[in-house]
Structure 1
């Protein structure tokens, strides 16, 4: 059974179920699940709205609403004369500090993390200024390689005031999931984006071609009172990220 044959079989079953969830939402969720499970791969061309409509016996309006939703979430790309394809890029919003893992899940993608370092250190003058601390205060340095759909997309270093981390070993894939478990709520962020060519170490860590630049994202996350919670520097593949600031 081909991937698209399997997809149509799954969609037929899901859309036939009795549910109060609108058809277009069930359709969109099924597409995201198919991407997450590898049934649909990046850059794969999807059938047209007309084909989906005819084969699934649903209206083209339902298909269009589902595709509109998927496009807004960055799951698919649509272009006139070319059709609809599964996006190979990951849209990351700089507006709200949800964290890469949560944003990846919301877009139907699978996040993962390989930790390189979780250690308590005395902060430098630069990090102290960013976090509103005294020079030499205890902070946790967290360094990791971030993955989306099993592909390395960025290397990230974070500094967090030690009082916000009771047990660094309890931090799993997502630092922000750990924050929420501790009732720590990042609600706003300040971000600066620049570009540079990668060094050899970075190329090896995320399998980056030498001619592809990295985007350097420096971000400060804060709680509702404006208290700094995390300062991070991320080195992201420019060919796999689209950053949204509005």
Structure 2
């Protein structure tokens, strides 16, 4: 669009100059320059370095007004552009071309950046929709989805990615401190006796006291029996 407008402006200027030259020549010699001669002259002029520089300068000047010129499109023109783009995107002829473009890392990265904000906003709006939530739950509960998730989790590539993420995280000092704090808390909780262990310990202590009391009582009885035997012997 920019180049065509610049080319049109340059050609118009050249035609204006050439028409002036033709008028002067016709006034002097009563000969008119034919269309074929004008076309040949224009092509020859466009091939010169001066013409190429003029085209570049005009395109650079027009690029500053590209935002304003795009706003000048009428509603009908905008609709036609939208329909044309839609026809190209859904056309089977351009399917392979679009797939190749999406595989290209540069194009895919730029495309993802351009639609990232819109995608986030769309997801936020969809999450608020009850029907979308219900459909999402159905998809997640689908056995095929569970199978696919399990296959991904069990894949070697996924495990490598998880290991690399863990290694990168362990290099962070703050993450290390958090892990150490969690380990300390876990050790302290393991060392604390559970309520069942406390009850068993109390039972053992009470059982030991009763046993010692019984043993002490049996000793007293045997001592009393010895004394009675001595008295009878006397």
Structure 1-normalised TM-score? 0.16
More strand by share: 1
Larger Rg, first or second structure (1 or 2): 2
Which one scores higher on RCO, CA 8 angstroms, separation ≥ 6?
A: 1
More helix by share: 2
